[in-house]
Chain A
Amino acid sequence: KKTSLNIVNIQQTTTQLALGGPVCPVQNWMQFPSGYGSHPPNYSAPSGHYSQVPNKAAASHLDNQYRASYYPTYYSSPAQNVMTPSVGTSVLNTQESQQLYNKTPHTVGSAEGPVQGAISSASYLHTSAQQSYSAFGNHYSTSVSSSVASQGFPLNSDHYAMPVVSSAVYPNVSYPPAAPGSVYGQAFTSQSLPVVGQVKETNKFSSQSTSVPHSLQQHVPVGYNTTLSTTSSAQSVQDNLCSNLTRSVAKVNNQINTGGIDSSQPVHSESQSVSFTKPGAGTSASSAVISSVRTPAPSLSSQPRSSPSVPQSPELALQEGMQFGGYVNNQASSAPAPLSSSSDDEEEDEEDEEAAIDSSSTTSSASPVLNNYDALEGGGYPETRSVTSSPVPAPSVPQTSKASKPFGYGYPTLQPGYQNAAAPTPVQPSNPGHHPGLQHYPQQYPGVNQLTSSIGGLSLQHSQQPESLRPVNLTQDRNILPVSSVPAPVPNLNSDLRKLNCSPDSFRCTLTNIPQTQALLNKAKLPLGLLLHPFRDLTQLPVITTSTIVRCRSCRTYINPFVSFIDQRRWKCNLCYRVNDVPEEFMYNPLTRSYGEPHKRPEVQNSTVELIASSDYMLRPPQPAVYLFVLDVSHNAVEAGYLTIVCQSLLENLDKLPGDSRTRIGFITFDSTVQFYNLQEGLSQPQMLIVSDIDDIFLPTPDSLLVNLHESKELIKDLLNALPNMFTNTRETHSALGPALQAAFKLMSPTGGRISVFQTQLPSLGAGLLHSREDPNQRSSTKVVQHLGPATDFYKKLALDCSGQQTAVDLFLLSSQYSDLASLACVSKYSAGCIYYYPSFHHSHNPAQAEKLQKDLKRYLTRKIGFEAVMRIRCTKGLSIHTFHGNFFVRSTDLLSLANVNPDAGFAVQMSIEESLTDTSLVCFQTALLYTSSKGERRIRVHTLCLPVVSSLADVYAGADVQAVVCLLANMAVDRSVSSSLADARDALVNAVVDSLAAYMSTASNLQQSMLIAPNSLKLFPLYILALLKQKAFRTGTSTRLDDRVYAMCQMKSQPLVHLMKMIHPNLYRIDKLIDESTIHVNDRVVPQPPLQKLSAEKLTREGAFLMDCGSIFYIWIGKNCDNNFIKDVLGYPNYASVPQTMTQLPEVDALSSERTRSFVSWLRDSRTLSPVLQVIKDENPAKTEFFQHLIEDRTEAAFSYYEFLLNIQQQVCK
């Protein structure tokens, strides 16, 4: 056996040592994605959220009727059964509570904002603003229904009634001086601020709230005692920053110190304040307001959408600032709680179901000390921008206000309509005023026809047909595309539950009204499933440290907002209905520092929380972050020139790699042999070890190949500098990917971690070698597309091995020829990795791809990462999971094993209804993601979604979420095309539309059968399905390379809904007249908001310029006769003819149109995690075909136009 082991010292001719400069490894986390800093979690929001509890409670009689009081509204207008305000007394309850809500805004103004916030607000956690906000939006709408008008606060009520007016705007306008502090917070807190004065409710909560201020100060010392020293550093910074914001700096200081456990917050706030640096109310307020004006604009329709976006808006800074002080205070008060609480926890199962690893268990340092970490990891990610970050930038609708106005404007203009709408309905207290309001809206805002869908969702009364059921004649109504993005429908729940419900960005269900039985579901012909984005970058996330994680004893569900408390000591699981004891520790509420209020704990007030897991949740000590890069250095790879880009990106981001002091890194290169790099500390140069025995791969020096990033940083930098030039003269054309992966697996198996593989061609040597399967002549075949599945099980097996050892493999395929992605992708698919594909990559010939790689790498290297993760999806008894979609390994019926989890990964599950749900009115879904953070902390992120159950077919259609349906169908179609055939999958897609529309039309008897009618909620269904059919993954007849097709399929399986929708149905905007468009303000920038255009060439006028947002790429198409001013100002060229073919950037020209265009583009970019590449397209550009392929409403040689497609469907429906 010839085992040759050549040891070669890398000859470094150039002295690149000096390049790096001194690096202090420890500081890594500080510099962590720079973006973090700029992301302003909204503190006030959480406070509102929390504080609202007291209010609720205020209306409640604690002892009796616990449940009823706890969800006052719930009771009076049972969400499940939608209408029928049931009991008289309970109605009263509701009113009271709603009164509270309405009044609060006033009180905010008068009361000391910050302090109040502090008192009432919770927290030692940051709530996700989003969630609370959306809830908030909902809340409004409902409050309208019942109490608004009657309460005699016309202004407020209006405000509530019509979410069109953003909450932000409103307060500013109406309460000029005092309010600004509470701007939004107030809106939010409005519900919460337990303002006693106004509402004369003498129950213990209100009284408590008043008393708290005093108690606060008294307690401060206590807090001190429990302080963890670690926080202090963060505090000082924070202090400085906040000083202007907070009322009393000193107080803040004290209280911050107490933070200890929740220290994450202080840090958070720090970053927040930093980014804002505009504590002053004036300017920021205005910008904020304006943006918000627009945001909520889509009004009712986009409520769900808009609401989340609002809280994120950085401009909230203002509010935040104000509330901030209070917030901190809260912390102080709350902080001691977890510490003090102790003992008597119900013991966790030793055998933790979710522990992922096979080794024996040991405890480790999952101490709550890592404040900074919390702040960074738990909280803001760069894209926290308000409007932008909401995946569907829907909220900003141009329609309402033309041109940017001072925010004050927005309100007055809207107001009249508003008042009209709400005022004329003098609602009797017992009779929710919802109904009348409903009728008025459409008249008031004729343009906003999407209002409807959300109203439908809200509809508490079925006396009138909900808007989402409004029949739309598809063949006649050509303008079905909304002005802005499509909002997610709001579940038809009562306001309290809706407020608590999980954000649609992380958790969406295809049917927001769950059918009662499988038979009903079958009748509806719509798929039932969930779309998850569980590890999404959140701006705010409550992080809870507690010694007892409360879970149901039988089904292990985490306690969540939708459980019911039977009495103070017992709670009933909402998934399995078992009655559980409330552990002693849980009785203590750290937020209010009171005992005996388990229902006010943050776990029960937030449907998205992150828990710091104890050692019970580990089977081995949390692993360090380990990164291994496996690079192809064959001739092909060198020719493509990707090495330079990769090494450069790595060099730039080396300090930003998520991890702690234990972070390890290693490199392997391969061509026909496998090269290892010894980077052991102490060597003067990196050492290359070549193993040429690829049939029996082994590790030459197992200990020194994966080295500590900080100890060997200089060597690593040397290597990265040297690598691109080391193989320039290679003549090796073979690629031994399989053996290299086996080596990588061996190297990683002791620890687990992430393997990043860069491959440029078909693997041709050793295990796992592949042969070309693609027949170029079949690319545009309309018949059979073969080879969509893997050719060998080598990669799958390897992936499962990796998965077992907690190692994920991420594949970067940069190839110009066929590389059998179908086989290679398996290595990532089943190890929970991700796949990137750059067709015809070349560093100089294809600059767009090179740029894309660069950008992707930046995001890839710096984004958050979770190791050794498992995700469990639980659902209410009666539902079961049928199929999983995404990149992972399904370890048992509901447990997904994710070696790594990243924030860009989406998942889908198909559900089936096993038992009839007749005895329940609500169903819940809970995903729990247990992972090890890059700082070596075991954490559990829990999302809970609650949905109503309905028994009629019409309700099922009313609640259909068309985007979710389409995404789930896309996933199913991918499975179908691999397991059966592409033609089958296409037929299935078409049938999905035909069947569901036929089923709908058969329910609505009064409809004319000759027309194609869809419910409003599904009016985009045929369009999206047609878009899917024309998508690379499923199209036939158009030449599509096999790898492209397979990659598109991989993306469908692993992308979260927002990204997937852009991929399926890009957004088209006209951008040559942006100056005239209405605008919003984001971060002091004016962002124009052009309306969405149909994806049809008829919209492309020669005089215009258009931007198409395809998610990962932006096309800018310029018409031949495009205005020369536009070309000159925006593109920087004198006329059309002189615009170059390959243009990937917009120059900075000092002109208004240029500025607007650039701000629009960057606003679009900020809304996603991968920053897309921009490509300017002229008429005769080769990329033009790409662009025109996205115009899915047009006819192509091989496919229907939208109208034809509709006719085709109509024909089949009527058959």
Chain B
Amino acid sequence: MESVVFIFSLIDCCALIFLSVYFIITLSDLECDYINARSCCSKLNKWVVPEVIGHAVVTVLMLISLHWFIFLLNLPVATWNIYRYIMVPSGNMGVFDPTEIHNRGQLKSHMKEAMIKLGFHLLCFFMYLYSMILALIND
């Protein structure tokens, strides 16, 4: 059972890693002016909710399967994701707003955030991998 949990988490984590990479690539495209702010933001905004859900699912799963350490590790990031999504002002077009993204260094902070998330997901990936193997062996 535990192995199933971790296999799922691993897959989910892979998806999140890909997503982070996609965010980074798209944002750096915008930085280099290969892409319009408008299309960049609409591309990214599409994936904000899947990311939130994907991460929330793993977190909840960890809570249910009583892996406290991993749950607590995931919790802040998941909370931040949800908070960010909820706190978007009513007039904005999503977490990434084309009219704001070039202002106040937002682009850079988004970039930084995506980088941190990538690192975090990579860490999680190996953790899940290890746990999965451990679980499989135990089984």
**Complex Cα–Cα for A743 and B98 (A):** 23
What is the minimal beta-carbon distance from A871 to any residue of chain B, in angstroms? Answer: 13
By a CB distance below 8 angstroms, the chain B residues around A407 are none
Contact yes or no, B91 A826, CB < 8 A: yes
| Interface size of A as a range | 20 to 34
* Residue A625, interface by CB 8 Å: no
Contact with A along B37-81 (1 / 0, CB 8 A): 110000000000000000000000000000000000000000000
By a CB distance below 8 angstroms, the chain A residues around B10 are none
Binding site for A on B (CB under 8 A): 30-31, 33, 36-38, 89-93, 98-99, 101-105, 107
**Complex Cα–Cα for A804 and B99 (A):** 13
Q: Known contacts A830-B99, A884-B102, A891-B36: does B93 contact A793 (CB below 8 Å)?
A: yes
By a CB distance below 8 angstroms, the chain A residues around B101 are 890
Which chain A residue lies CB-closest to B40? A892
* Residue A789, interface by CB 8 Å: yes
**Complex Cα–Cα for A791 and B92 (A):** 9
21 cross-chain CB contacts under 8 A:
A790-B89, A790-B91, A792-B90, A792-B91, A793-B91, A793-B92, A796-B91, A796-B92, A796-B93, A800-B38, A823-B91, A830-B99, A882-B105, A884-B102, A889-B98, A889-B99, A890-B102, A890-B103, A892-B30, A892-B37, A979-B89
What is the minimal beta-carbon distance from A821 to any residue of chain B, in angstroms? Answer: 12
By a CB distance below 8 angstroms, the chain B residues around A826 are 91
**Complex Cα–Cα for A783 and B89 (A):** 20
Contact yes or no, B90 A800, CB < 8 A: no
By a CB distance below 8 angstroms, the chain A residues around B89 are 789-790, 979
Contact yes or no, B33 A893, CB < 8 A: yes
**Complex Cα–Cα for A793 and B88 (A):** 11
Contact with B along A871-896 (1 / 0, CB 8 A): 00000000000111000011111010
Contact yes or no, A883 B98, CB < 8 A: no
By a CB distance below 8 angstroms, the chain A residues around B99 are 796, 800, 829-830, 889-890
By a CB distance below 8 angstroms, the chain B residues around A884 are 102-103
Q: How many A-B residue pairs have CB under 8 A?
A: 60
Which chain A residue lies CB-closest to B105? A882
By a CB distance below 8 angstroms, the chain A residues around B30 are 892
A826-B91, A975-B104 are known contacts; what are 8 more A-B pairs with Cβ within 8 Å?
Answer: A793-B91, A793-B93, A796-B91, A796-B93, A889-B98, A890-B101, A891-B37, A892-B30
**Complex Cα–Cα for A892 and B30 (A):** 7
Looking at chain A's contact residues, the main secondary structure is mixed
Looking at chain B's contact residues, the main secondary structure is loop
What is the minimal beta-carbon distance from A900 to any residue of chain B, in angstroms? Answer: 17
**Complex Cα–Cα for A830 and B103 (A):** 13
* Residue A1102, interface by CB 8 Å: no
Of B38, B90, B91, B107, most buried by chain A (CB within 10 Å of CB) is B91
What is the minimal beta-carbon distance from A928 to any residue of chain B, in angstroms? Answer: 16
What is the minimal beta-carbon distance from A1035 to any residue of chain B, in angstroms? Answer: 23
Considering only residues 884-914 of chain A, those with a C-beta below 8 Å from chain B are: 884, 889-893, 895
By a CB distance below 8 angstroms, the chain A residues around B33 are 892-893, 895
**Complex Cα–Cα for A823 and B89 (A):** 12
Contact with B along A793-821 (1 / 0, CB 8 A): 10011001000100000000000000000
What is the minimal beta-carbon distance from A953 to any residue of chain B, in angstroms? Answer: 25
What is the minimal beta-carbon distance from B44 to any residue of chain A, in angstroms? Answer: 15
Contact yes or no, B93 A791, CB < 8 A: no
What is the minimal beta-carbon distance from B118 to any residue of chain A, in angstroms? Answer: 23
**Complex Cα–Cα for A804 and B92 (A):** 18
Contact yes or no, A800 B103, CB < 8 A: no
**Complex Cα–Cα for A884 and B106 (A):** 12
By a CB distance below 8 angstroms, the chain B residues around A892 are 30, 33, 36-37, 102
What is the minimal beta-carbon distance from B94 to any residue of chain A, in angstroms? Answer: 8
By a CB distance below 8 angstroms, the chain A residues around B37 are 889-892
By a CB distance below 8 angstroms, the chain B residues around A804 are 38
Contact yes or no, B102 A789, CB < 8 A: no
By a CB distance below 8 angstroms, the chain B residues around A895 are 33
Contact with B along A298-320 (1 / 0, CB 8 A): 00000000000000000000000
What is the minimal beta-carbon distance from B98 to any residue of chain A, in angstroms? Answer: 6
By a CB distance below 8 angstroms, the chain B residues around A893 are 31, 33, 102, 107
Contact yes or no, B104 A882, CB < 8 A: yes
By a CB distance below 8 angstroms, the chain A residues around B31 are 893
By a CB distance below 8 angstroms, the chain B residues around A792 are 90-91
**Complex Cα–Cα for A790 and B91 (A):** 5
What is the minimal beta-carbon distance from B138 to any residue of chain A, in angstroms? Answer: 51
What is the minimal beta-carbon distance from A774 to any residue of chain B, in angstroms? Answer: 15
What is the minimal beta-carbon distance from A1030 to any residue of chain B, in angstroms? Answer: 26
Which chain B residue lies CB-closest to A799? B99
**Complex Cα–Cα for A892 and B33 (A):** 6
Which chain A residue lies CB-closest to B99? A830
Contact with B along A165-189 (1 / 0, CB 8 A): 0000000000000000000000000
Contact yes or no, A789 B90, CB < 8 A: yes
